[in-house]
Amino acid sequence: MPATIGGPTAAKKSIVRRNPAMNTAQTTGALTPEQVAAFERDGYIVLRGLFDAEEVDLLRRAMEEDPSVRDHMLVRADGEGGGTRIALWNRAGDSVYGLAARSDRMVAAAEALLGGPVYHFQSKLTAKDAGGGGAWEWHQDYGYWYYNGCLYPRLLSCMIALDRTDRENGCLQFLKGSHQLGRVEHVQITKEQNGIDPARVAAAEQRLERVYAELDPGDVVIFHCNLFHRSDQNRSDRRRWTLIVCYNRVDNDTITKDDDRYYVPLERVPDGALKAAGLKFADAGNAEHFTSKPYVPKVGAAE
């Protein structure tokens, strides 16, 4: 029987389960075969406590205080009259957040799940502030990245929680297993946001379970680029900031070089590099390649 979406069981269900199999990657990023199988089946896995309190504090402060991040904040309108502040950059450099993206634990996890060497594709701060910060409509990341020239859906995103993120402050929601539907047509929702064809979402919601990625600071949820995901506005009085690091498989390098997301070798660093660097900001020369506008491919208008 198909899972009832939005029903009492689905509504209560979250992916906060403390499955010991999900806790093994804390220091090395090496994943178990069960974790890889869960990713292939469900389209996501959660790694609890991948970053410890000191590392999260460095990442959070860098997002708050680094002038490069502050100067590149953009507002991305949602379809409900609100917006989220975001900052986007394409390269993983020597800042503490660049080192996090290059750390053994993150790269090893991405490589285990994508099945080969990866490079850094994009990072993003989603700074959902308290009291109404922006919703994200149902979308697949590959609905965007296809247009960057990636032939295969061999990309994934790692969302690092900088604050507690839960249903009250607009955590990420998934349709479990929806990555198996392949790339689905997107339509324009706002000038800065495309979303999955609503008829497809409705049909998928009848068949697939909705899960909520509730995370504590330092937890990481990793999800496949074709997984349907969305999030509500943050109507709580608690901020919800997350840092999302995305990787592409090296052999899936973009077929065009227009969007600054083509293959650049990723220099891996040991996990200890974050603490060794301390509160290291981006260089003034924009080695991280911060962008000045969100990337939104042209697709058809919503009906």
Map residues 62-101 to x or -, x wherever contact with Mn ion holds by CB under 5 A: ----------------------------------------
Q: Positive or negative, the Cα torsion across 241, 20, 212, 196?
A: positive
Contact between 136 and ligand SIN (CB under 6 A)?
yes
Minimum separation from the CB atom of position 229 to Mn ion (A): 6
The yes or no reply on residue 90 touching ligand SIN (CB under 6 A) is: no
Query: Which position among 111, 141, 214, 288 is part of the footprint of Mn ion (CB under 5 A)?
Result: 141
Q: How far is the CB of 139 from Mn ion (least distance, A)?
A: 6
Give whichever of 158 and 273 is closer to ligand SIN, judged by the CB atom. Answer: 158
Q: Which option in ligand SIN, Mn ion, none does residue 231 bind, with CB closer than 5 to 8 A by kind?
A: ligand SIN
The answer to the question of residue 192 lying near Mn ion (CB under 5 A) is no
What are the CB-based long-range contacts (under 8 Å, 24+) for 52-58?
A: 52/218, 53/217, 53/218, 54/275, 55/100, 55/218, 55/274, 55/275, 56/160, 56/161, 56/162, 56/217, 56/218, 58/96, 58/274, 58/275, 58/277, 58/278, 58/279
DSSP string of 181-234? G----EEEEETTEEEE-HHHHHHHHHHS-EEEE-B-TT-EEEEETTS-EEE--B
| H helix or E strand, kind and range, residue 123 | strand 118-128
Residue selected from 226, 242, 248, 254 as contacting ligand SIN according to rule CB under 6 A: 242
Question: Closest CB to ligand SIN among 156 and 269?
Answer: 156
- Report the distance separating Cα 156 and Cα 303, nearest Å: 30
Q: Identify the CA nearest to 181 among candidates 203, 163, 162.
A: 203
Applying CB under 6 A, which of residues 56, 69, 109, 172 lies at the interface with ligand SIN? 172
Task: Give which of 124, 122, 87 is closest to 292, Cα–Cα.
Answer: 87
Asked if 137 interacts with Mn ion (CB under 5 A), we say no
Q: To the nearest whole angstrom, how small is the minimum distance from the Cβ of residue 13 to ligand SIN? A: 18
Pick the binder of ligand SIN from 126, 169, 226, 233 (CB under 6 A). 126
**Closest distance of CB 85 from ligand SIN, Å:** 11
# residues near Mn ion by CB under 5 A:
1
Tell me how far apart the alpha carbons of residues 12 and 220 are, in angstroms, rounded to a whole number: 21
Binding footprint of ligand SIN on the chain (CB under 6 A):
126, 136, 172, 229, 231, 242, 244
Binding footprint of Mn ion on the chain (CB under 5 A):
141
